[in-house]
Structure 1
Amino acid sequence: MPKPPPTVLESYAEQQQPQTGKRRPNRKALLFVVIFFGLLLVAGLLKSPLSEVSYIEVKGNHQVRYEEILRTAELERGMSLLSINKGAVKEKLLTTYPIVETVDVEVSWKGEVVIAVVEKRVAGLMLQDAKLFRILQDGMVLPGREKLEAEQLPVISLDVPTSLTPGQKVISEDVLELVKQIPEVERAVLDQISEIYVTDEGPWRIYMRDKFEVRIPPRQFADKMKAYLAYRSALPVDTKPSIINMLEANYMENFKPEDKKGE
């Protein structure tokens, strides 16, 4: 028996049913479109001022000038942020400047570059060929200068002359021990010291700016200068310059003619 034709309502219901054979969107094509517009965005950023260095700050530098650090690191305003290799900048600064102990480089997508350096401390000065050489706390010798302005550092001298080579450490073991101990002494005490005379035998002599002389056992600079501060503070204000012995016992004695420096 033939099937009756569908009613109008049945035909409408069949048309509203989901088509199971409908094609899904092409995911590869969608991914290609996303990548294409992403590349356009990156290209736009590279050509925009946002990708350029707009500000460079150097922190912690006292002995090395700002301009020297930028020149060595090969950094300048207007260069591309993507061209900055933080590891290479760090290596260049550490290799070029022995006084620099650590380097940290931060790059911001705002166009800001911050270089934070920590310098080794300059412990004292040594004289050779009419030039003053700064000696770091690790014994490294910096290039000599005929004049050092705003430098109130003790001059280190030896009874046995030694050769100084910039970029290398001092040969004398006594001086190496001395410069290692100098940073342990208070700045107020160091500012009073004019010269430290290191002897191969016998006590070291420390000439103070107030004309006093302090004698200490070899290689005991830090401990003895701490004791000196207390001893000197206890002396009357009108005490005449003399020799303060900080040896096995602490005592004071008057200068003898041959003891007076420069005579």
Structure 2
Amino acid sequence: MNNRMEQEKIVSIEDRIPKLKQQRKQKTNKRLTLFLCLFFILILLVVYFQSPLSKISAIEVAGNAHATGESILKQSGVSIGTGFWNLNGEQAEREIKKMKEIKSARVLKTFPNKVTLQVEEYKRVAYAEKNGSFMPILENGVVLKSDEKSLPSDAPILINWKDADQIQEMASALLQIPKPIASSISEIYHAPEKNDSWHITLYMNEGYVISGSVRNIADKIKAYPSIVSQLKPGTKGIIHMEVGTYFESFEKPSDSKDKKDQGEELNEAQE
């Protein structure tokens, strides 16, 4: 009985030896394959970093409407031939944001060697006229130096504005005005009065004049379309929006009753 059991054990071990050898061989092959893969990856990395593929070969500037791509690229410090992986994107973003026109900046890398400088500019809400030149006023109130002589059409022109704080206040007000109304404003004169140093006169593209104050014009002017719709076709004049809202025609009314009636119509439109 014991001899039989010993023989079965011997046969069992002999059967397992080929399987163990096969398993060891498979493990050895896997290790060798892994080693060779790592070796070739290292070789490829060395070749890549030594080749032009690891250098920046294309730089694109996107999102700019007014600042030139050349000025943004120069400010970023990024250049063709710089190591793709050596580029400090955060530093380049900080440098770009030092430009007065730029609100935000991002440096995007696209493998293998392309870089995109994505920027967002401050909106131009108006232009300041000075000695025949038009200087852009940004949404944050900053006035850019410019030699632009052509009459801008994308924002109103501020005339007779000298105080930086008042310019910033006006810029903030313009941002709150609905775009369809803001695009109808042609010129904004700073016309301070005895009781209101913030008084302004707005000239509209439709031929109307608005008299108001910087402090509440963003709210008051929202009634402009409704007011104009209540006026007789061809009637032009001044829409007063200082405290109450009423219309004063350029043509003198035939009697006081006509003027009173027209004022009542504007009050109804305001409501």
Instruction: Calculate the TM-score normalised by the size of structure 1.
Output: 0.72
- 2:217 and 2:241 in contact (8 A); partners too: no
What SS does the corresponding residue of 2:243 show, helix, strand or coil? coil
Task: Establish whether residue 93 from structure 1 lines up as the match of residue 89 from structure 2.
Answer: no
The aligned residue for residue 177 of structure 2 is: 185
SS in 1 for 2:108: strand
DSSP-derived class of the 1:81 partner: coil
Query: 2:132 touches 2:149 (CA, 8 Å); kept in 1?
Result: no
- In the alignment, which residue of structure 2 is the partner of 1:68? 71
In structure 1, what residue type is equivalent to 2:180?
A
Aligned equivalents of 2:123, 2:154: Cα separation in 1: 13
Deviation at residue 256 of structure 1 after TM alignment: 7.9
| 8 Å contact kept, 1:52–1:79 | yes
C-alpha distance after superposition, 1:197-250 (max 9, x if no partner) = 2233344211123332101134112112211122123333322x2111123322
For the 8 Å contact 1:50–1:109, the answer to whether it is kept is no
In the other structure, the counterpart of 1:4 is none
**Relative contact order: is structure 1 or structure 2 higher (C-alpha 8 Å, sep ≥ 6)?**
1
2:208 counterpart of 1:235: no
The letter for the 2-side match of 1:138 is N
The Cα shift of 1:150 comes to 5.0
- Please give the secondary structure, in 1, of the residue aligned with 2:250: coil
Question: How far, CA to CA, are the matches of 2:214 and 2:157 in structure 1?
Answer: 17
Alignment-mate amino acid for residue 147 of structure 1: K
**Residues 151 and 72 (structure 1 numbering): CA distance in 2 closer, same or farther, change over 3 Å?**
farther
User: Offset of 1:38 from its aligned partner?
Assistant: 5.2
Larger proportion of helix: 2
| SS of 2:85 mapped into structure 1 | helix
Shift of 1:81: 0.8
Q: 1:7 — aligned with what? A: none
State the shift of 1:178 in Å.
1.2
Q: Does 1:199 align with 2:191?
A: yes
1:51 touches 1:109 (CA, 8 Å); kept in 2? no
Match of residue 106, structure 2, among 104, 109, 127: 104
Residue 200 of structure 2 corresponds to residue 208 of structure 1: no
Counterpart of 1:219?
A: 215
Q: Distance in 2 between matches of 1:93 and 1:148?
A: 28
CA distance in 1, matches of 2:53, 2:226: 59
Counterparts of residues 133-172 of structure 1 (less than 5 Å): 133-148=135-150, 151-158=153-160, 161-162=162-163, 170=164, 172=165
Show the 5 A alignment for 1:28-43.
39-43=42-46
Partner SS state of residue 47, structure 2: helix
* Count of paired positions: 226
Q: Secondary structure at the match of 2:189?
A: strand
Checking the alignment, whether the CA contact within 8 Å between 1:124 and 1:155 is kept in structure 2 is yes
1:120 Cα deviation after fit: 0.9
Counterpart of 1:185, as a letter, is: I
Partner Cα distance (2:103, 2:62) in 1: 13
- Percent identity between the two aligned chains: 26
Q: Which moved more, 1:197-206 or 1:85-94?
A: 197-206
Amino acid aligned to 1:81: F
- Which residue of the other structure, out of 127, 149, 161, is the alignment partner of 1:125? 127
Following the alignment from structure 1 to structure 2, what is the Cα–Cα distance between the partners of residues 91 and 153? 29
